[in-house]
Structure 1
């Protein structure tokens, strides 16, 4: 949803339980399952496991606020990522599905048919609350059958997580099941902010700042968001780590990652590009962390924004 389209053209992306013996049994079963999830997380040093099998997210739907590490296990045959979008107060995933998804679906259909005017009319139906959505970070693009680890600070509130990489037909993965609500409580966990081995500075004005070369190894990278802005995709900048089989593929990477192009950001990813995670969009002044296991070769840090190469929102470095 939060993908294509130009911001200057549009102003933008429990139930009551009946008391019965059966419901009590179900409630008891659910409680055990939730407890098992909590125990599992605690046993893994508060690492929250997120799994995608095909077009889904398996993740606990209630989390504590504070520093939280997500290990994203992409077991599917597609490249994925996930971003947390913090909803305005009172807005839930039902609002998201009923008020935001329909105009986006219609607009994408028109865009794929090159009917720009009709698509723009659909975007005019985007609900006003969309402009108050905050960026909450997440795990950057990750190759099929791979895993990546990212740490962000979760503030209390209701989040929608999604992946909007596109199918070969041009429609985002979120339309096929990669859309989920996460509630973060006021209760804070006791996790401390990670320590970084290296810092990456990210700025819309200065681009991406990092070293030209680094020794092979496993590192914790801090991504410092010096500023943030909305691009043509209605989202901000992020960091994605990519290994290149050949440096000649840099232009192909820049073209593919430009989600403002309805023909781009589709799977399968061009051969020779391996995405290894990163940190999704955060607000200005915030910091996220990701683990990078670097082997010898050529790598790129790049933002998923329109014309990333032209805007200097990439950094090539060599691992020796």
Structure 2
């Protein structure tokens, strides 16, 4: 009898521990997301980010990106080497890219690409740690990434009508990640998996009508400055994905031109996604889809477009 009581108590203890762990994971899984808002200051003609907080603990972190501006935007997380901050980027990197873009816009292609040779050596050590795909004005999205301690930048380098990068107009903010661990678990049970490879995209599973949690695995061997990211776009009658892919190339004179105040040259509706990550990383994004045709498009050179069409079917 005494042994039976001990066994029952043991099972009860195991049950309580398991319940506590499940509860703790549920609490962490639903931890409040870090809100980042894109805004436009018409009086100063600045595109800006507003951060709820600029210092966060390390670990799995979910961001809620709200586009409260009249232009298309994304946000990318840049892991800076050492003690670098956005001040270093604004001083040593931004002017180089803007100078190159100005030359490319003038049709001076050779000089434009040569200008990139002025980038500081430390810039090659910047690691992109995900972020939000492009979203339309008035939209919002969520994504989850893993951040190690260090100094980060949050940037949008979509361009204004005159070719000026939004980051040169104020859309660049510091984010500090401390050594304290958030304790948040990696998101569980994604709806489907997307794999970026040197050849393009592989999809494991299917997008469904309604809410989707998408796991993006970066299996690409990086070549050059840009790796594949994932931007979800609506494919409607007349949508030309070659034109969309060309618009996604920042080095094109009309590439990534956002427009604003209802005058937008954006070639389709952008619904979110995730920015690029290092080989071996996995990041997540949430997306709510209606039945219809869509595509995932990567920000790649126009002469090497990367996109994949998929269909969301009506639920049976």
TM-score, normalised relative to structure 2? 0.80
Structure 2 counterpart of 1:246: 237
> Which stretches in structure 2 are left out of the alignment for 5+ residues?
1-27, 41-46
Cα distance change of structure 1 residues 106 and 292 upon mapping to structure 2, 3 Å threshold: same
Report the Cα offset of residue 257 of structure 1.
Answer: 1.2
Q: Distance in 2 between matches of 1:242 and 1:129?
A: 34
Larger Rg: 2
Query: Match of 1:140, SS?
Result: strand
Cα distance change of structure 1 residues 215 and 172 upon mapping to structure 2, 3 Å threshold: same
Structure 1 counterpart of 2:282: 287
Partners of 1:51 and 1:75 within 8 A in 2 = yes
Higher mean C-alpha deviation, range 287-296 or range 106-115: 106-115
Report the Cα offset of residue 214 of structure 1.
Answer: 4.2
Structure 2 counterpart of 1:61: 54
Query: Match of 1:246, SS?
Result: coil
Q: Distance in 1 between matches of 2:196 and 2:186?
A: 19
Q: Cα RMSD between the aligned structures?
A: 2.2
Cα distance change of structure 1 residues 157 and 228 upon mapping to structure 2, 3 Å threshold: farther
Query: Match of 1:193, SS?
Result: coil
Report the Cα offset of residue 173 of structure 1.
Answer: 0.8
State the Cα deviation string for residues 201-223 of structure 1 (Å, max 9, x = none).
Answer: 11113x11126964411111101
Structure 2 counterpart of 1:135: 128
> Which stretches in structure 1 are left out of the alignment for 5+ residues?
1-41
The match for 1:197 among 182, 191, 194 is 191
In the alignment, does 2:137 pair up with 1:151?
no
Query: Match of 2:137, SS?
Result: coil
Q: Distance in 2 between matches of 1:317 and 1:121?
A: 38
TM-score, normalised relative to structure 1? 0.79
State the Cα deviation string for residues 86-124 of structure 1 (Å, max 9, x = none).
Answer: 111132222112222222232222222223454345333
Query: Match of 1:253, SS?
Result: helix
Task: Count residues in correspondence.
Answer: 274
Report the Cα offset of residue 126 of structure 1.
Answer: 1.3
Report the Cα offset of residue 183 of structure 1.
Answer: 0.8
Structure 1 counterpart of 2:269: 274
Mapping for residues 40-59 of structure 1, pairs under 5 Å: 45-54=31-40, 55-59=47-51
Q: Distance in 2 between matches of 1:222 and 1:214?
A: 11
Q: Distance in 2 between matches of 1:214 and 1:120?
A: 39
Structure 2 counterpart of 1:29: none
Query: Match of 2:272, SS?
Result: strand
Structure 2 counterpart of 1:20: none
